[in-house]
Amino acid sequence: MTKIAIIDYKAGNAPSVMHAVSRLKHEAAFARAPQDISGATHIILPGVGSAGATMQSLSEMGMIPALEEAVLRGKTLFLGICVGLQVLFDHSDEDDVDCLGWLSGRVVKFDGSKVRVPQMGWNQVKFVRQAPVNTQEDYFYFVNSYHAKPKDESVLWGAADYNGAFTAAVRKDNIYATQFHAEKSGEAGLALLNGFLNLKGGE
């Protein structure tokens, strides 16, 4: 039986993700304490705001050890969105904060002398790797001043261009994440979200 947990923390946008999940006819519950993700088949970490605020909120909730147990050791399916992607890496230049370190690399700021920062609006994403989530090149909605630079190129799932290519989506084993807001990206975003929610453990 599918059990979807959406992590609800001070810096997140959990209600908009819940709305999208409900539109797709899936049932989900907010996770506001470590025990709330126990037994989950799918965990979603939404993100708005800064990496520092996100890490602080997750720490204050006691959520980090529970997430590591569920995702890294239990191989629970995980989807990070926006800042939920950025905190998967070792370090973010935003707030100069150490993050979860599940993926090797760091998060850096767009060059404000060359492009408008933050990037706000629709941008085309090209998916460069196959994944069990069925995806195709399309436009998705971004709001970001920072982007991830993975050390391991094999985790790159999707790329977009903003004065040069940047990481739009990553995937490693049971861990999926998008820099764009899938829940705000129209039919393409809902299709990606639905594909993730329809995954079974081990995919």
Q: How confident is the model at residue 130 (pLDDT cuts 50, 70, 90)?
A: confident
Q: Which tokens sit at 177?
A: 């994440």
Per-residue model confidence as pLDDT tens digits over 12-49: 689 999 999 999 999 999 999 999 999 999 999 998 88
The rounded distance, in Å, linking the Cα atoms of 50 and 12 is 10
Q: Decide if 201 contacts 77 (C-beta within 8 A).
A: yes
* First-to-last C-alpha distance (Å) of the chain: 16
- Give the mean pLDDT of 122-143: 94
Question: Quick one: pLDDT band at residue 55, thresholds 50, 70, 90?
Answer: very high
Task: Give pLDDT, residue 118.
Answer: 96
Beta strands in 46-144 (DSSP E): 77-81, 91-92, 97-98, 105-109, 119-127, 138-144
With vertex at residue 52, the alpha carbon angle to CA 152 and CA 90, rounded to the nearest 5 degrees, is 20
Query: What per-residue confidence (pLDDT) applies to 30?
Result: 97
CATH topology of domain 4-197: Rossmann fold (3.40.50)
186-197 and 14-23 helices, crossing angle to 10°: 80
Which amino acids are annotated catalytic? 82, 181, 183
- Domain extents for the chain? 4-197
In whole numbers, what is the pLDDT of the chain averaged over residues?
A: 95
The answer to whether residue 203 scores a pLDDT higher than 70 is no
- Asked if 194 and 2 touch (Cβ cutoff 8 Å), the reply is no
- Read off the pLDDT of residues 163-182 as tens digits, 9 standing for 90 and up: 999 999 999 999 999 999 99
How far does Cα 19 stand from its chain's mean position? Answer: 17
Q: Which residue is it, tokens 């890490």?
A: 55
Q: Which residue has the higher pLDDT, 67 or 12?
A: 67
Q: Is the dihedral of CA 19, 20, 21, 23 positive or negative?
A: positive
β-strand 156-161 against 119-127: which pairing, if any? antiparallel
- Please give the pLDDT value at position 10: 74
User: 19: exposed, middle or buried (C-beta count within 10 Å: 0-12, 13-18, 19+)?
Assistant: exposed
143, 181 in Cβ contact below 8 A? yes
Are 141 and 161 in contact by the 8 Å Cβ rule? The answer is no
Burial (Cβ within 10 Å: 0-12, 13-18, ≥19) of residue 38: middle
Q: What is the pLDDT of residue 201?
A: 79
